[in-house]
Chains A and B, each alone.
Chain A
């Protein structure tokens, strides 16, 4: 039994879920903003990666790069022939793929942040419940729109053939681990950024907005603007995760971005401990393991064949977990701690001395 692809895929998904849950932790855990359209911003990243890759490689197939490989120029993007051309180009030109990969990451972060700010704008001035409803509406409507409209990600079929930027590495095992390392590196950066943000004055303002909006307002904090900022930051991070996802599964399709992904991430945040990044990293680890091990292909390794789609059972478990956690341990496994500021450290040193 070759475990390499399983381990590499587990590491990639841990990185993706870590980014998503850290971003939701800033929004939900720190600022109390229920971004129940998280999956939409995740999908924005994937669509961006798909579009950048497909259009750049289509352009490249007409130029000397395509001629050198003896490839036929392909005018469209959605056909199987175009997917094959993209893969061959990607395997032959690591430099071009690196540019595409980095461009996608930057562009997706910007687009995600803009979308997060604009779409939450109407709902930020009213109660949290509106934000939850509006963003859920956005996520569901955008999914049906992308499915019906072939311009974004080839409609119902999805965009097949978004080649991995490391396709030039011949050994699939090495390639898998190398890509997992790249994803975990990005996740590590996001972790550091989230941790610094959480302990910064901005992080304390977020907690103030969450705990007492009126008090924050009285102290001169512009509550609506702060909520918009955290939505922009969190959505930018989610879009980065979407890019990494698209290059991992090498496919972009609207049907991958169903609302249960949002709620899976929400369960990670609440299980680990809202407003505690360490806890969230733990929650993401536990639920990524549950996620990866409750797949039909994984169960088949042990000869298990449930009579129904096993995905449904996982969602029942995650839903039940959400209810049980909220009822019996809303603070999660690792509860929120004091903010780490220089002042707190001075006080703690004095207290212990």
Chain B
């Protein structure tokens, strides 16, 4: 019984992290699908969302609902702006994928350090949102908090909504076509520019939302998103960078591996808890050797 009581805490944290990684990594997969580039600046969209929420709550006294809406809008605006200013012109110039990736690193550095300067000038280098993260229920040694009640349903709803969007709506089907083969989609008169815009809007808003929820859960620094980027990458790689359901599975695999996995390894094998990141790396390495196209690739390489 003692073991089960101890198990509850990493289980709940894993569930929460998995849900938050879902919100973050799905956007990464979505923009990769339609642009063929990994957006390193995705991390900063999360950070922007987190800071938007913290500043709205702490400095302007907003309640959490409007603060989250502000975070979503900031993330969305930043994503669309960066696409308009950098990625879209580069794609129009037919720049290689490698150039787009390097450009996204530049964007990431600019955004992150502008946030750093802003935070340094305003004394916000390490802030906690003044929101109560209330315990709702105790399970063994674990606590279910209000953050769990938002993040987990949000991730599940997102998965359901994405599923319906990609399989039932025409726009979703066109998005899958664009992801599969841009040239072919263009030849079939698919509105590629509109689909790209839609992908950036979705990725930016989800990242902003994830950042806002993260800000309620844990203190915020200007590198909060960057620090989570390896986890987002790992989740997306498990999904093979193109599959949304694969990314969804990947996010929970990473969330549970870094909490439940390390707990079990520590409990039974005495593995030190510092190894949690190394477990994530090992999962990624094994994935790339075993099934480089993603965990669901055997299903026929579908995009959902």
Contacts and interface: CB of A to CB of B under 8 A. Distances in A.
A136 B233 contact: yes
A260 B40 CA distance: 13
B157 interface: no
A129 B292 CA distance: 12
A141 B233 contact: no
Contacts of B116: 308-309, 312, 315
Interface of B is mostly: helix
A141 B236 CA distance: 17
Main secondary structure of the interface of A (DSSP, over half): helix
B103 to A, nearest CB: 5
Given A316-B113, A321-B106, A144 B120 contact: no
B102 A326 contact: yes
A134 B286 CA distance: 12
A320 interface: yes
Interface stretch (A118-126, A232-240, A287-295): A118-126
- In this complex, the member of A36, A149, A266, A330 whose beta carbon has the largest number of chain B beta carbons within 10 angstroms is A330
B117 A326 contact: no
A307 interface: yes
A263 interface: yes
Contacts, number: 135
Contacts of A176: none
Contact of B90 (A123, A125, A326): A326
A132 B99 contact: no
B136 interface: no
B269 interface: no
Interface residues of B, number: 51
A323 B37 CA distance: 15
B112 to A, nearest CB: 8
A148 interface: yes
A15 interface: no
Contact of B109 (A125, A132, A270, A318): A318
B159 interface: no
Interface string B30-48: 0010000110100000000
Given A122-B288, A141-B230, A129 B117 contact: no
Given A34-B98, A133-B233, A263-B109, A122 B289 contact: yes
Given A133-B237, A312-B116, A313-B113, A126 B95 contact: no
Nearest to A318: B109
A345 interface: no
A32 B292 CA distance: 20
Contact of A320 (B40, B106, B281): B106
Contacts of B121: 307-308
B86 interface: yes
A323 B106 contact: yes
A250 B211 CA distance: 39
A336 interface: no
Contacts of A125: 288, 292
Interface string A319-353: 11111001100100000000000000000000000
5 contacts: A145-B278, A312-B116, A320-B106, A322-B105, A327-B90
Interface of B: 32, 37-38, 40, 86, 89-90, 93, 95, 97-99, 101-103, 105-114, 116-117, 120-121, 226-227, 229-230, 233-234, 236-237, 241, 272, 274-275, 277-278, 280-281, 284-286, 288-289, 292
